[in-house]
Amino acid sequence: MFEALAEQPSDSLLALIKAFAADPRPGKIDLGVGVYRDEEGRTPVMAAVKAAETILLREQDSKSYLGPEGDVAFVERLAPIVLGAEQAASPRLAGIQTPGGSGALRLGAELVAAARPGARVWLGMPSWPNHAPVLKAGGLVVTSYEAVDLAGQTLLFEAMIAALSQAAAGDVVLLHGCCHNPTGIDPDAAQWRVLADLVARRGLVPFVDLAYQGLGRGLEEDAEGLRTVLAAADEALVAYSCDKNFGLYRDRTGALYVLARDARAAGAVASNLKALSRVNWSMPPDHGAAAVRLVLERDDLAAQWRGELAAMAERIRAVRTALAAREPRLAFVAAQNGLFSNLAIDRSGIEALRARHGVYMADSGRINLAGLRLAEVDRLVAALDAVGAF
Task: Tell me the catalytic residues.
Answer: 128, 209, 244
Judged by CB, which is closer to ligand PLP: 192, or 340? 340
- Cβ neighbours of residue 164 under 8 Å, at least 6 residues apart? 122, 145, 173, 195, 198, 202, 204
Judged by CB, which is closer to ligand PLP: 237, or 384? 237
Q: Which stretch binds ligand TYF (CB under 6 A): 10-18, 144-152, 191-199, 370-378?
A: 10-18
Helices (H), 187-223: 189-202
- Contact between 102 and ligand PLP per CB under 6 A: yes
Among 241, 336, 364, 368, binds ligand PLP (CB under 6 A): 241
Rounded to whole angstroms, how far apart are CA atoms 171 and 187? 20
- Contact between 36 and ligand PLP per CB under 6 A: no
- Contact between 186 and ligand PLP per CB under 6 A: no
Q: Do 213 and 190 touch, CB atoms closer than 8 A?
A: no
Among 98, 127, 181, 213, binds ligand TYF (CB under 6 A): 181
- Cβ neighbours of residue 56 under 8 Å, at least 6 residues apart? 287, 290, 291, 294
Using DSSP, state whether 240 is helix, strand or coil.
strand
Judged by CB, which is closer to ligand TYF: 133, or 307? 133
Q: Which stretch binds ligand PLP (CB under 6 A): 49-57, 100-108, 215-223, 275-283?
A: 100-108
- Contact between 130 and ligand TYF per CB under 6 A: yes
Judged by CB, which is closer to ligand PLP: 252, or 357? 252
H or E element, residue 154: strand 154-155
Rounded to whole angstroms, how far apart are CA atoms 84 and 101? 19
Q: How far is the CB of 100 from ligand TYF (least distance, A)?
A: 8
DSSP 44: P
Q: Site map for ligand PLP, 44-83, x if CB under 6 A?
A: ----------------------------------------
- Contact between 243 and ligand PLP per CB under 6 A: yes
- Beta-strand ranges (E) seen in 8-119 are 29-31, 93-99
Could you tell me the strand order of the sheet in which 120-125 lies? 93-99, 253-259, 236-241, 205-210, 172-176, 120-125, 141-146
Applying CB under 6 A, the residues found at the interface with ligand TYF are: 11, 13-14, 33-34, 128, 130, 181
Task: Note the residues at the interface with ligand PLP (CB under 6 A).
Answer: 34, 100-102, 128, 181, 209, 211, 241, 243, 254
